[in-house]
Amino acid sequence: LNPRLEPLAGARRVISQCRHLLSERGEVSGTRRADEVLRAYQALDRPALVNFLSLLATEFSPPAAEVRRSADAYCSEPSAANLTRLQAAVESPRQELFRRLNMARGGMQALIEMRRHVLLGVREHPEWVALDADLSHLFRSWFNRGFLSLQRIDWSTSAVTLERLIEYEAVHQIHGWHDLRRRLEVDRRCYAFFSPALPADPLIFIEVALTKGIPDNVQLLLDPKGPLLEPAETDTAVFYSITSCQEGLRGIPFGNFLIKQVAESLQMEFPRIRTLVTLSPVPGFVDWLHSAHFNDASRPLPPGLRLLSEAATSGQDVDVRLCNDLKHELLELCAHYLLHCKQHKAPLDPVARFHLANGARLERLNWMGDTSTVGLRRSLGMTVNYSYRLDDVERNHEAYAKDYQVLASRRLRRLAAVVGGLPARRQLASFTTTKSTIRMPA
Amino acid sequence: LNPRLEPLAGARRVISQCRHLLSERGEVSGTRRADEVLRAYQALDRPALVNFLSLLATEFSPPAAEVRRSADAYCSEPSAANLTRLQAAVESPRQELFRRLNMARGGMQALIEMRRHVLLGVREHPEWVALDADLSHLFRSWFNRGFLSLQRIDWSTSAVTLERLIEYEAVHQIHGWHDLRRRLEVDRRCYAFFSPALPADPLIFIEVALTKGIPDNVQLLLDPKGPLLEPAETDTAVFYSITSCQEGLRGIPFGNFLIKQVAESLQMEFPRIRTLVTLSPVPGFVDWLHSAHFNDASRPLPPGLRLLSEAATSGQDVDVRLCNDLKHELLELCAHYLLHCKQHKAPLDPVARFHLANGARLERLNWMGDTSTVGLRRSLGMTVNYSYRLDDVERNHEAYAKDYQVLASRRLRRLAAVVGGLPARRQLASFTTTKSTIRMPA
Amino acid sequence: LNPRLEPLAGARRVISQCRHLLSERGEVSGTRRADEVLRAYQALDRPALVNFLSLLATEFSPPAAEVRRSADAYCSEPSAANLTRLQAAVESPRQELFRRLNMARGGMQALIEMRRHVLLGVREHPEWVALDADLSHLFRSWFNRGFLSLQRIDWSTSAVTLERLIEYEAVHQIHGWHDLRRRLEVDRRCYAFFSPALPADPLIFIEVALTKGIPDNVQLLLDPKGPLLEPAETDTAVFYSITSCQEGLRGIPFGNFLIKQVAESLQMEFPRIRTLVTLSPVPGFVDWLHSAHFNDASRPLPPGLRLLSEAATSGQDVDVRLCNDLKHELLELCAHYLLHCKQHKAPLDPVARFHLANGARLERLNWMGDTSTVGLRRSLGMTVNYSYRLDDVERNHEAYAKDYQVLASRRLRRLAAVVGGLPARRQLASFTTTKSTIRMPA
Amino acid sequence: LNPRLEPLAGARRVISQCRHLLSERGEVSGTRRADEVLRAYQALDRPALVNFLSLLATEFSPPAAEVRRSADAYCSEPSAANLTRLQAAVESPRQELFRRLNMARGGMQALIEMRRHVLLGVREHPEWVALDADLSHLFRSWFNRGFLSLQRIDWSTSAVTLERLIEYEAVHQIHGWHDLRRRLEVDRRCYAFFSPALPADPLIFIEVALTKGIPDNVQLLLDPKGPLLEPAETDTAVFYSITSCQEGLRGIPFGNFLIKQVAESLQMEFPRIRTLVTLSPVPGFVDWLHSAHFNDASRPLPPGLRLLSEAATSGQDVDVRLCNDLKHELLELCAHYLLHCKQHKAPLDPVARFHLANGARLERLNWMGDTSTVGLRRSLGMTVNYSYRLDDVERNHEAYAKDYQVLASRRLRRLAAVVGGLPARRQLASFTTTKSTIRMPA
């Protein structure tokens, strides 16, 4: 036996089971068979899985001859009938395979996990693009926003679901059940979108703190020993963390509604609260700063900024003292980055993109608003408040949707305008990147 | 104002709203806009609706030029990339429109109702085929069996749902709440499939009577004043009515699982019950008989049969005495019809197709098993028991799925073999029809 | 066999089973035994039941010798220890018997039903007072308001519960499911108190109509074909029917909270609705009128009033024309009756007692507000609006609780003051009765 | 201000509020007032609480004069009417006060907590007996077994409830969420009794392990890293921990049913499992051994046993080697203790009392079955299996209920018979105690 052939043999066996499942005319035994295929698939080790995905990408495609025939027919006569025939001809049998796998216990989770693998490996295996296309197509139907429900999560929620929060939280890690419990106390709120296809597993969740005044520091908010406020005494709702839970659903749009619905729900419960803000990181800032350094060798960054950006992007600890020495430059640069740096026409910063698209405006930049190791590395300790005013949200959102208008407070606009005497300003402004250091809702 | 233009103008207004909804880049206002479009659509009167559907069928198709370009590219180089591009090019923008309409309150019901209109009118408006294709495609994903749940329905079920049973029951009409209540008593069971997309609205439901012995007469079962049995005394479960509720979901496969799951659920609750049978109509028999008469003028039906088949198919009352005079001929013909008459390779009778595909076998033909006006007209008063033996169901189902094998009791096979000396036997046997007089699960 | 001994023998058998159940030291078999006793008890026919209750009233009393000993001990030394001993000595073993019967399936319903029998027969069987005392004592604990929950009832409520509404509604009969459905439409609300001890069975429920302006006629409200209003267009909530469901719980206090909680719930849902009124009958009026006639022979009622009161109280149809002829006298008398006629210190009318104790005030008297046969017989067609103003409810309630103050609108006070030139005014005013023609919450 | 008067003053203020709440005729404001009283009561510090309870015990007793009058009346004529009057006269107004406090939010928990205080302090404050009597009387009605429901607890249960398990577990401490999760895995079951009065708070719960064979060692069962078994492979259900959660409900009977219902539920889920056993401590053994030493100075325990019993009862660590040296003596003595030592007529050991009363029999004594520090101190490392055979449970239970028959396996009977040559055997056997080192269900 040639062990190097093994992964391929294992993959081929499961592919053959898939073909069997798909050819099945009878439906009574479908669920059982789908279960078997799924178990076999999930038992594949890493190399076999890679082989399996590559086979899947090529073997369950629509038959080329029929596609060509239908395409020819349409080209010579683009009638409705010929279009319908062409549509049917080009649909991958894979889609029906995926629909049948969804009948197995745990089928949906497995398909989401499959797409996660696909997204991670598609650069290396370009043929997997076909898998991504088919899975995305199905997910767009299955996770249609019409099916999602916003649910409040609190200490009476099932442990199954709460455990997922601990596991998924990407912005400010939850350190166990004790930490979680503080985040679900009377002066906190947590909301999530759920799909009936994954009833105990949140798709995206948002954590809210009820505070007096707009906070600038996230450590104070997160401190498990921080004082409990009476909700009646608070005047501000702070969205301090938003997490997209399922990497396999990246790009499937459902996140944008969450903020608006949560804001409405909070207003219903606390009519007195008029201020809704975020306390957000600026996850693209250090990358932008760092790339500027490399991209424009003729006008290098001043040494301090260069040191900081190098440390932050290479995962080393950031020197707080040096940060503080450069406070003004950093605040101005960051304001400039948030307001003026673009990826195509949209803001370069992924968090800014998200909130501005949702109808928020840039409100305030906070110095040393997140002094955790991660916070320093992520945004050199800066945090930003985006504010949501319910009356303006829709108008802001339309303005952004139409021409990517970036709304900001006067203070921030002034700060962003200061930038001068710095090297490579124009280059910085025009630099674009696609990397984002935090998982953000699509 | 030209009133004859009105329907078209109204339709055009809604089409324009649809285009607006679809072009919407921002998502925050999507739900509200989807709501508005839906209300406008639902306010269309009949003529405007017809106009709307025809516009919808033509206007939201994929752009021909891009389809052609992609088709050309694929034909000259059938690569994976070109296939993916072609797949994207041929998808109707309508699908995204439907997905967005699903975000509106009541969106799913409206889409199901839209397909009902489409199915009713597609013969007259062949261009609506494109609508059917797009809606079916989405429904196959949305109503995937992996999402459906089997729920027991009883007197503690919500009135919203119970009211639907009364409305939907197609085989043996439910005469109000009093009648319904009898059908949910201790010696009855009712199960339905529900989708999370329609939480209070059953997709298909089955009514079961617990009896002593296999019943042959449906009137006795249905009598609201019939005696209540202690479930512990019963030995047989009779599936006496199965109803597909949503005409707009015709052809979307989910019905076949119901019987098997119900049978398993009953066995769990009543381990002593070993016999599971149906008490079914033979809805295609009179049509077959009647068509035989016309199709083979050289060998006409005997006058009595001709009279009966004419009365039954033209909706007149059926002469019971005449039936009784022809009892033997009718039983033999009906057995012959059930066992040997085909549509392509499958049984001609839609109810037979359904149960045999589910793994049942033909057990017994009952004379005057349904003497209601409808029962006489539908099957000249005959009923048939299909039996489900849990141990054989899967094997039977596979045998049928493979080569349409029709399993029947020895008694029925003998009865079916008698047919001889009758005109047009062979023609009758080969006659095919697509008409079915009762709504059957797909 | 002497059949006249039979009832007694049957009763004795069940009594003996009760004794067995009570003596049972082991608890494992308790539920099974309680079930058996309950079935036997429920199988008793009417005469046997009477015998059983009488035996129960005498046989499970505390042992007289021990009571006497404890009483003596307490009298000679009224210490805490002697009090505790006396308390233990006087508790009927019946209470423990009832607590054990509650373990049986349907035990609670059976005990409530038992008290209903007791209340109906206690006048004839004075010894049943002891049963009433023990059952009331338990019910006051079991139906403590701390356990009750207010639930909204609508068309999505279980048929089990809805069926009870149809059965229980005492003020304006519900004519089947069709009628019920109208009462649960978008412009209606229905709320009920439930106990966890009877989860599907309401204790008391209230029906509310959302209207424009204060209605004076109940037929318009009840008409199943009456127009549906958009809740957003309405400005008034009308409590048009309140029904205590369980006669066996008469006198157990829980009704008073219902109105206040319902009012608060309505205000939450419809902040715009500022007017909350009832549309109530005046059930004690004709009795009062009629008795006045007999009680004061020297000053007889005028003939018209006498005729009307005789017809109404003897269950004959009421002559509407005669009513209309006497409109002014009747309105004045009725206002006088509502504001000034007392039973002890409280208003004579049971409905007035209920609403005034809840913090309402008398608002308006409506001529021909209920022209149904029952309505004419009950109140000669008159209805009355009691109004609840949330800001005043508590103050009104305290005022009533303190000295039975009857609050009324100026218009009603003037109307009530008119009464003059009528015979027996003072006598009428001081007449008291205990009969009430409708079941009212305690 | 004299601070030493403060506790009394605070207590008096709350007492006065209680009196106000009780005198309240109106009911509308009752809930609000009950809330206020409860908050004030809960704000009392320890010394004030003691004062409050003592005042409560004396001030809300029935008025002595009326009790005496009613007692006199009954003594001179013990009629039903006089009995009813006496019963009414002796009921403490406290009971109505407690019923009204139950209307407050959290009222029930507060009353249970109050009884906990009373039970802890009643020895020091004998007048509190009256409080215990009134609270017990109400709790016996409120926690009547007819209201309790058995619910399965697993990882999908609410965190609120799971957190209580961690807090309450008294037999084998749960070390945080990680440990809890192992106890809710596929080869574990957990069931609890809940009252609708405390919907998220278990009254008593039982932890079950599914195993192969009867385990003798509890550490292996509890090891969070122990291997997971497939439920289908197991043949034994082990009740390894039973915890009564509410100390304030001590003596209120509801625990006995739990085991039987859990056993039936397990048999339904796993028909193959025929062996149901406990793995229990012997919590009274060391006390008995130790007391024997002191109680019979003339025949002292052998030095080794004395050392062990002294260490165990004084809370010092137990010398395992010494235990092992005395293995045979200890096993024999323990068997003797379990089978023959009595408190009145019942077994001296509280856990034995509980399981034997429930219909179990003594099956096996395990050497070093619990080698934790607590386990050694509690039972010198021994554990015992009680076995439940569903077919025998009721018979065993009746036998025990009738004459306290102790059923045991032959092996155990033999072991218990060995005891001889030991000092004070008979004395040991007759020694009685009321101390129990673990909280056991009543």
Best to test chain C binding among D90, D94, D134 (most C CBs inside 10 Å): D90
pLDDT tens profile C262-276: 998 998 889 888 789
pLDDT of C422 = 46
Query: Is B200 within 8 Å of chain A by CB?
Result: no
- What is the side-by-side strand order in the sheet with A204-211? A149-152, A188-194, A204-211, A236-244, A275-278, A383-388, A361-366
Q: Does residue A57 sit at the B interface (CB-CB below 8 Å)?
A: yes
More confident residue, B32 or A340: A340
Q: Is A129 on the interface with B (CB under 8 A)?
A: yes
* pLDDT tens digits along D246-298: 999 998 877 667 888 898 899 888 988 878 999 999 999 999 988 876 666 66
- What mean pLDDT do residues B25-45 have? 84
CA distances from B293 to A172, A240, A407, B427 (A): 79, 78, 79, 10
Instruction: Please check the confidence at residue C360 and state whether its pLDDT lies above 50.
Output: yes
User: Which residues on D lie below 8 Å from C72 (Cβ)?
Assistant: 71, 75
Other chains touching B, judged by 3 or more CB pairs under 8 Å: A, C
More reliable by pLDDT, A255 or C254: C254
The percentage of residues in chain C with a pLDDT greater than 90, rounded to a whole number, is: 63
DSSP code at position A228: P
Specify the residue for token string 């009713």. Answer: B120
Residue D28: predicted pLDDT:
58
What does the pLDDT average to over D343-361?
91
**A151: contact with B, CB 8 A cutoff:** no
3-state DSSP call for residue A238? strand
Chains A and B touch (3+ CB pairs under 8 A): yes
Task: Identify whether the C-beta of residue D203 lies closer than 8 Å to the C-beta of residue D254.
Answer: yes
Whole-angstrom distance, CA of residue A200 vs CA of residue A184? 17
Of A65-74, D185-194, D412-421, the one with minimum mean pLDDT is D412-421
* Chain C interface, best mutation among B160, B185, B194, by max C CB count within 10 A: B160
Q: Does B92 touch chain A (CB under 8 A)?
A: yes
Please tell me which of A310-319, B392-401, C183-192 the model is most confident about, judged by mean pLDDT: C183-192
Per-residue model confidence (pLDDT) at position D297: 64
Residue D403's pLDDT band (cuts 50, 70, 90): confident
Query: What pLDDT is attached to residue C261?
Result: 86
Residue predicted with more confidence, C424 or B396: B396
pLDDT class for B350, splitting at 50, 70, 90? very high
For position D293, what pLDDT does the model report? 63
Per-residue pLDDT, B436:
31
Of C158, C176, C181, the CB nearest to B156: C158
Confidence of residue C302 (pLDDT cuts 50, 70, 90): confident
Q: What is the bridge-based pairing of β-strands B383-388 and C149-152? A: unpaired
Instruction: Place B394 in a pLDDT band, splitting at 50, 70 and 90.
Output: confident
Q: What angle do CA C396, C402, C407 make, to 5 degrees?
A: 35
Q: Which long-range contacts (CB under 8 A, 24 or more apart) does B36-39 make?
A: B37/B101, B37/B104, B38/B101, B38/B104, B38/B105, B38/B106, B38/B107, B38/B110
- Interface check for C186 against chain B (CB to CB < 8 A): the answer is no
pLDDT tens digits along C379-418: 999 999 999 988 888 888 888 888 899 999 999 999 998 8
The more confident residue out of C46 and B29 is C46
pLDDT for the residue A68: 93
CA B321/CA B308 separation, integer angstroms: 11
Does B140 contact A107 at a Cβ distance shorter than 8 Å? no
C in contact with A (at least 3 C-beta pairs within 8 A): no
**Tally of CA atoms within 13 A in the half-sphere of B253 that contains its CB:** 14
A134-165 pLDDT tens trace: 999 999 999 988 899 999 999 999 999 999 99
A1 has a pLDDT exceeding 90? no
| D436 has a pLDDT exceeding 50 | no
Model confidence at B1, in pLDDT bands (50, 70, 90)?
Answer: very low
- Residue-wise pLDDT for A48-69, tens only, equals 999 999 999 989 999 999 999 9
| Residue B268: Cβ-neighbour burial (10 angstroms; 0-12, 13-18, 19+) | exposed
Amino acid D278: pLDDT: 95
DSSP annotation of A41 reads H
Task: Write the pLDDT tens digit of every residue in C155-165.
Answer: 999 999 999 99
Compute CA distances D296 → C127, D140, D310, D321, whole Å.
59, 41, 15, 27
Give the closest residue to C19 by CA, choosing from C96, C131, C110.
C96
Count the Cβ atoms, other than its own, within 10 Å of residue C248.
21
Structure tokens at C229: 């209003």
* D90: closest chain C residue by CA: C87
Chain A contact for D294 (CB, 8 A cutoff): no
- As a whole number of angstroms, the distance between CA A358 and CA A240 comes to 16
* Chain A environment of B127 (Cβ under 8 Å): 80
Q: Tell me the torsion sign for CA atoms C345, C348, C350, C354.
A: negative
Q: Which amino acid is at A379?
A: S
The answer for C 342-381 residues in CB contact with D (under 8 A) is: 357-359
The answer to whether the beta carbons of residues D209 and D184 sit under 8 Å apart is no
Q: Are B285 and B224 in contact (CB under 8 A)?
A: no
Q: Do C155 and B158 touch (CB under 8 A)?
A: yes
Q: Is D108 on the interface with C (CB under 8 A)?
A: yes
Closest CA to D205 of D159, D169, D238: D169
For chain A, the chains sharing at least 3 beta-carbon pairs closer than 8 angstroms are: B, D
> Which tens digit of pLDDT belongs to each residue from C77-104?
988 889 989 999 999 999 999 999 998 9
Q: Cα–Cα distance between C287 and C377 in angstroms, integer? A: 10
Find chain A residues with C-beta within 8 A of D157's C-beta: 158-159
Looking at residue C259, what is its pLDDT?
Answer: 85
Phi, psi of B154 (to 5 degrees): -145, -165
Query: How far is it, in rounded angstroms, from Cα A263 to Cα A189?
Result: 11
Q: Other CB atoms closer than 10 Å to residue D156's CB: what's the count?
A: 13
| pLDDT score for B297 | 64
Distance CA D206, CA D184 (A): 12
- What is the average pLDDT score of chain A? 87
Q: Name chain A contacts of D159, Cβ cutoff 8 Å.
A: 155-159, 162, 177, 181
How many angstroms separate the most distant Cα atoms in chain A? 74
Which tokens hold the place of C50? 């009477």
Question: Using a CB-CB distance cutoff of 8 angstroms, which residues of chain A are in contact with residue D181?
Answer: 159
**Given pLDDT bands bounded at 50, 70 and 90, which one contains residue C427?**
very low
Work out the angle between the directed axes of helices A129-142 and A107-121 (0-180°, nearest 10): 140
What pLDDT shows up at residue A421?
Answer: 41
Tell which residue, B57, B193, B163, B31, has the closest CA to residue B114. B57
- The nearest alpha carbon in chain D to C70 belongs to D71
Q: Rounded to whole angstroms, how far apart are CA atoms A274 and A271?
A: 7
- The pTM of the whole model exceeds 0.80: yes
> In this structure, what are the phi and psi dihedrals at residue C243, rounded to the nearest 5 degrees?
-130, 125
C77 touches chain D (CB under 8 A): no
Q: Which residues of A touch B97 (CB under 8 A)?
A: none
The answer to whether the Cβ–Cβ distance between C158 and B157 falls below 8 Å is: yes
> Residues of B numbered 201-240 whose beta carbons fall under 8 angstroms of chain A's beta carbons: which are they?
none
Q: What is the tens place of the pLDDT at every residue in A198-242?
A: 999 999 999 999 999 999 889 999 998 889 999 989 999 999 999
Q: What is the mean pLDDT of residues B182-205?
A: 94
Mean pLDDT in residue range B271-278: 88
pLDDT of residue C386: 96
What pLDDT score does B25 carry? 64
| pLDDT recorded at residue A28 | 58
pLDDT above 50: residue B151 = yes
Distance from CA of C321 to the nearest CA of D (A): 42
User: Given CB atoms, is D121 within the 8 Å cutoff of chain C?
Assistant: no
Is residue A207 left, alpha or beta, with left meaning phi > 0 and alpha meaning psi from -120 to 50? beta
Tell whether the model's pLDDT for residue D333 goes beyond 80.
Answer: yes
Q: Tell me which amino acid residue A22 is.
A: L
Q: Is the Cβ pair A159, D160 closer than 8 Å?
A: no
Question: Is the CB of A156 inside 8 Å of chain D's CB atoms?
Answer: yes
The answer to whether A186 contacts chain D (CB < 8 Å) is no
Q: Which whole number is the average pLDDT over A122-129?
A: 93
Identify whether the C-beta of residue A52 lies closer than 8 Å to the C-beta of residue A8.
no
How far is CA C337 from each of CA A276, B383, C342, C360, C367, rounded to the nearest angstrom? 58, 69, 8, 17, 15
Among B281-290, C58-67, C246-255, C378-387, name the one with the lowest average pLDDT.
C246-255
Taking contacts as CB-CB distances below 8 angstroms, the residues of chain B near A399 are: none
**The predicted structure's pLDDT at residue D255:** 62
Q: How confident is the model over D213-242, as a mean pLDDT?
A: 91
Q: Are strands A275-278 and A236-244 parallel, antiparallel or unpaired?
A: parallel
Segment B245-255 mean pLDDT: 86
Instruction: State the Cα–Cα distance between residues D372 and C150, nearest whole angstrom.
Output: 50
| D and C touching (3 or more beta-carbon pairs closer than 8 Å) | yes
Helix axes A390-403, A256-269, angle to 10 degrees: 170
Query: With an 8 Å Cβ cutoff, are C147 and D104 in contact?
Result: no
A384 within 8 A of A364, measured Cβ to Cβ: yes
pLDDT above 80 (res B344): yes
What mean pLDDT do residues C112-133 have?
A: 95
Q: What pLDDT does A429 receive?
A: 40
The size of chain A, in residues, is 442
For chain D, list the contacting chains (3+ Cβ pairs, <8 Å). Answer: A, C
